[in-house]
Amino acid sequence: MRNALIITRRELGAYFASPIAYIVIAAYLVVMGILFSLIVAGQPGSEASLRFVFGNVFSVIILIIVGPLLTMRLLSEEQRSGTLEILLTAPVRDWEVVVGKYLASCIVFVAMLAPTVVYPLLLERFDNPDHGTFIATYIGVILLGMAILALGLLTSALSQNQIVAAFLGLGLILVLTFVQFLASVTSGILASTLTYLGLLSHFFDFLRGIVDTRDIVYYLSVASGALFITTQLLGTRRWR
């Protein structure tokens, strides 16, 4: 784990040495700011909740796009430049590399989310909203983000090209998002399975203030599953 943290530190340095992190964070905050002012601040008498801000379709779309943009570089660039060869011949386990990079992307994600905390603080001043719901909302967004970042990291292991990795990641996340819509054309166990697999079917409860362990387990399973596959993919250099 010590090695993973060393890699996390290096990755954080790399994030803020390139413009990508700044651009992604700025774009995210601009979109969220617009949504907040349109949905809550600009509507007198609206509900003092972030439910319709984070639950808004644009908010979800930008979250899905931001994930692969934050992770596309992580493994593809190391493969392209060959630095992976030095990294993986050091006494470091493959999973430590994967977890270290993943943690860095999660930290950047949380840093991106952090400024949005001014929204609940603002609402706090003008109303008496439910704190629990705010906390649940952020838990939900962070869990969804963790799953999306892990999926993005997985596709970053698949290509030496960052752009290809980003689009593969976006594709994978969209597939996991849309499986739940297939549920409406099926029935029985298949329908409930598809609904369960859907990346967003576990999200909206959080926004209503409901923290269900099943939803937490779902997101953490998706994230750890993706990290496991990523570690295996790194291992496939063994027959490439």
Site residues (vs other proteins, CB under 8 A): 3, 6-7, 10, 13-14, 17-18, 81-93, 237-238, 240
Residue placing its CB nearer to other proteins in the complex, 14 or 38: 14
Smallest distance, other proteins to C-beta of residue 85, A: 5
Chain position carrying tokens 């943009």: 69
CA 203, CA 139: separation in Å to the nearest integer? 10
Residue placing its CB nearer to other proteins in the complex, 97 or 147: 97
Smallest distance, other proteins to C-beta of residue 104, A: 13
Residue placing its CB nearer to other proteins in the complex, 14 or 135: 14
Smallest distance, other proteins to C-beta of residue 163, A: 19
Residue placing its CB nearer to other proteins in the complex, 85 or 212: 85
CA 160, CA 227: separation in Å to the nearest integer? 18
Smallest distance, other proteins to C-beta of residue 240, A: 8
Residue placing its CB nearer to other proteins in the complex, 85 or 130: 85
Tokens at residue 169, please? 């990641």
Smallest distance, other proteins to C-beta of residue 75, A: 14
Smallest distance, other proteins to C-beta of residue 14, A: 6
Residue placing its CB nearer to other proteins in the complex, 3 or 224: 3
CA distances from 198 to 53, 147, 179 (A): 21, 12, 6
- For CA atoms 8, 9, 10, 11, the dihedral sign is positive
